Structure 1
């Protein structure tokens, strides 16, 4: 047993002993405890330090170590905070559901990341270990990111490395871009339904939201033109490659029209390219940014979705004065993404393990998608699939008109199944009841059981509707 484990063992014994003593009682000295536990003075001191750090003991130099206790105080009164804080910007219901992890016993059909067995764990461990031994592991790196990592990330977009800004995850990238491009009170336009995290990011930045309906060919340019004219918005948020939650892909004709509208109105298009590596039936269309020579499009790319939730590495690709403003603003955020994470990501992206991981991941995700599609078809009366997407990790499912999606999501969670409440994917009132089901975090047997339970709940609620 090493010294750390021995110190933890002694700390646990002393913790239980302290619980039987009164506040202010003195513990035996280090020498006496060393004899009692047959341990070195350093090990005993480490155990006492652990308990002191937890506030369970109080060390007084020259006097000894005593059992600590909290001072009695009146019940706190936080009522003053509500008027001081003002109205909350971020919708707590939407935020709470978006961040719901569930427990080990739950069937996870709502999680926007991949299951542990689909992550390149061995390759990540090898690269992280190598990075931790490197000279730059714990040093400051350029605010915009490691030059070599920026070069690799730029390749997918035909961009210059200087156009790339490394940020800690796609959600942070989205918050940062919206807050930098727009001022509080401005309007940002989004396709609808849309990624709930975008709504939260806009709310956190104090922005108003205007929704434009989208179908399976993406946002409708005719309606986008009307909203741009009415709101004078300078920012439009889109997912052209594989929209969350619908899986829609912006058609070639609409891509050209969106770029023309951006140029006509002097607007930025924030391209959320989260599914760049998740084309399951062939590669996704090229980034919208590659068709825009004048800097209207800013792209957000992320490794988190395709690698692991803990690899918080994303990139913002932006050109011209907008790119310069974003790079300047980064210094006010967090100085830089930790070098250890960047070195790990760089090592993975440039290793032979990367293409192998992508090939295996796409194959297994396609299997899970097809399995979920098959189970949904078997319950078509309750769960009607809008279409089978060519990529991504989500399915958009239509429910009978009588279903309250919020109540269904709560009932499903009580039944051990986590699903995405479709109402959270709309800015305004949803036109029909939907749920989003994700196939990336559950095994095929779990998918089958989760769909079965959900269909049963929908059938019960449909039958009880008068």
Structure 2
């Protein structure tokens, strides 16, 4: 019997819907004939029942099948009658368009987390509830409402931008003005606006390898040509940037220099200076994504490139998500005013601006007496979780993984020493009750793993690694 391909590019439910549509068209299931129950078909195909529910919902949306209480699911009679009624083929529309879907691995991870809430989650790149200042933010929410709740300035809530001027000077040594700050819904929206508004299809850009940017299809959706900047223990190398510029005329460089995602590396100080000199010489913009710096476990964050940028080569992106609460959806970009105005105009066309309330909360939290104690506690707890993860890896996989221990950030990047298939390892790990992100998602070759230790509870970390170790040993026989 036909079975869906778990490692294919298409989601499982779509493969099943396509197979059933074809079998119905060939007459295997005539009009009005019953289809197997969701539970029975799930058992036959070896998938979760929720996957069959999605497949049947897809076919119902096309008018191919119909379900009635007490009668089960049947092939539609009207679709195949003398005067058929045609529903738009929404599947074809969904496959069209220029904006690409998420990578198959990421869709599989999201599906697994939705279906099984008990999975130990080393995949989600955000703070767990125990690391977020929930009580403090709830207190601020109670006092944050304003009489005005209409559309705000397209650049963002003015008091938040004013607060960020002080915050960036005090914590990141970046001196700017509120007119050079754009509030966004997070780092991803900042990157999206840059790729859509400042670059054109066919432009060449340089992205670190491995890099979180490789997991974002928005670059390919924008028609950009991506070229890799290898990352070693000291970050990206300026000579590689120069080589790519000479060979491909790259128009922009995307860097995450502090506690890089996924490797956790920090860009070497000498390389920073060379990169800025090179950018100045070539007139080459650098986009600096800096979400993790304030998590530095020793309390001394590396300075951003932007703080050393004397001529305006760097577009700086920051976020509230990795230091406080991802659910508020507040990020920011520091850029020349002409760029800010261009991107604010584009964003206004999309959503007329962000909600005022979370921006008010973010502004109050950044300047409150809560902020500095929260940072200290966050660093301490992240360090504790990192150490638990390192100890668990050394205990359960002493000779099968190699890694460097990060001094900040939320992630630990590991290389698996034996040859292993990313997809098969992920599926076995899900079966064992743990989930992670395969390294190939970030542009790396198969055989690397990113563990995010900020999301699971401390008591889950060793258990999760024991489950991962069991998965790896099962796969290796």
- Under TM normalisation by the shorter chain, which class is it? 0.7 to 0.9
Q: Give the match's secondary structure for 1:277.
A: helix
Find the counterpart in structure 1 of residue 155 from structure 2: 144
Does the CA-based 8 Å contact 1:369-1:439 persist in structure 2? yes
Alpha-carbon distance between aligned partners in 2 of 1:84 and 1:441, rounded to the nearest angstrom: 33
Cα pair distance change 1:198/1:262, threshold 3 Å: farther
In the TM superposition, residue 350 of structure 1 has moved relative to its aligned partner by: 1.6
Report the number of matched residues.
388
**Counterpart among 291, 313, 318 of residue 301 in structure 1:** 318
| Structure 1 stretch displaced more, 322-331 or 254-263 | 322-331
Find the counterpart in structure 1 of residue 176 from structure 2: 159
**Counterpart among 363, 368, 376 of residue 351 in structure 1:** 368
**Counterpart among 468, 471, 475 of residue 454 in structure 1:** 468
Deviations 1:146-181 (A, max 9, x none): 222112223322211111100112211111122222
Cα pair distance change 1:445/1:261, threshold 3 Å: same
Structure 1, unaligned stretches of length 5 or more? 1-70
**Counterpart among 175, 196, 202 of residue 192 in structure 2:** 175
Q: Give the match's secondary structure for 2:317.
A: strand
Find the counterpart in structure 2 of residue 118 from structure 1: 131
Deviations 1:197-234 (A, max 9, x none): 66323123222211111111111222221112112111
**Counterpart among 341, 363, 367 of residue 380 in structure 2:** 363
Does the CA-based 8 Å contact 2:299-2:376 persist in structure 1? no
1:222-371 to structure 2, matched below 5 A, reads 222-319=239-336, 321-371=338-388
Cα pair distance change 1:142/1:197, threshold 3 Å: farther
Q: Give the match's secondary structure for 1:437.
A: strand
Deviations 1:411-445 (A, max 9, x none): 1112110101111011xxx3451000011011222
Alpha-carbon RMSD across the aligned residues, in angstroms, is 2.3
Q: Give the match's secondary structure for 2:293.
A: coil
Alpha-carbon distance between aligned partners in 1 of 2:220 and 2:325, rounded to the nearest angstrom: 27
| Structure 1 stretch displaced more, 195-204 or 243-252 | 195-204
Does the CA-based 8 Å contact 2:330-2:362 persist in structure 1? yes
Deviations 1:214-259 (A, max 9, x none): 1111112222211121121111110011100100100111101111
In the TM superposition, residue 369 of structure 1 has moved relative to its aligned partner by: 0.4
Deviations 1:49-108 (A, max 9, x none): xxxxxxxxxxxxxxxxxxxxxx99637461883698267634541541575644431101
Does the CA-based 8 Å contact 1:236-1:267 persist in structure 2? yes
Q: Give the match's secondary structure for 2:144.
A: helix
**Counterpart among 448, 452, 468 of residue 434 in structure 1:** 448
Find the counterpart in structure 1 of residue 408 from structure 2: 391
Alpha-carbon distance between aligned partners in 2 of 1:415 and 1:245, rounded to the nearest angstrom: 24
In the TM superposition, residue 460 of structure 1 has moved relative to its aligned partner by: 2.4
| Structure 1 stretch displaced more, 212-221 or 78-87 | 78-87
**Counterpart among 410, 422, 431 of residue 427 in structure 2:** 410
Find the counterpart in structure 1 of residue 59 from structure 2: none
Alpha-carbon distance between aligned partners in 1 of 2:327 and 2:400, rounded to the nearest angstrom: 33
Find the counterpart in structure 2 of residue 443 from structure 1: 457
TM-score under structure 2 length normalisation: 0.76
Does the CA-based 8 Å contact 2:204-2:226 persist in structure 1? yes
Does the CA-based 8 Å contact 1:128-1:344 persist in structure 2? yes
Alpha-carbon distance between aligned partners in 2 of 1:162 and 1:318, rounded to the nearest angstrom: 9
- When Rg is computed on C-alpha atoms for both structures, the one with the higher figure is 1
Alpha-carbon distance between aligned partners in 1 of 2:271 and 2:264, rounded to the nearest angstrom: 16
Q: Give the match's secondary structure for 1:131.
A: coil
In the TM superposition, residue 320 of structure 1 has moved relative to its aligned partner by: 5.0
TM-score under structure 1 length normalisation: 0.78
Structure 2, unaligned stretches of length 5 or more? 1-75, 80-85, 169-173
Alpha-carbon distance between aligned partners in 2 of 1:94 and 1:159, rounded to the nearest angstrom: 39
Find the counterpart in structure 2 of residue 85 from structure 1: 96
Does the CA-based 8 Å contact 1:194-1:244 persist in structure 2? yes
| Structure 1 stretch displaced more, 95-104 or 352-361 | 95-104
Cα pair distance change 1:251/1:313, threshold 3 Å: same
Cα pair distance change 1:90/1:256, threshold 3 Å: farther
| Structure 1 stretch displaced more, 170-179 or 308-317 | 170-179
Alpha-carbon distance between aligned partners in 2 of 1:440 and 1:385, rounded to the nearest angstrom: 20
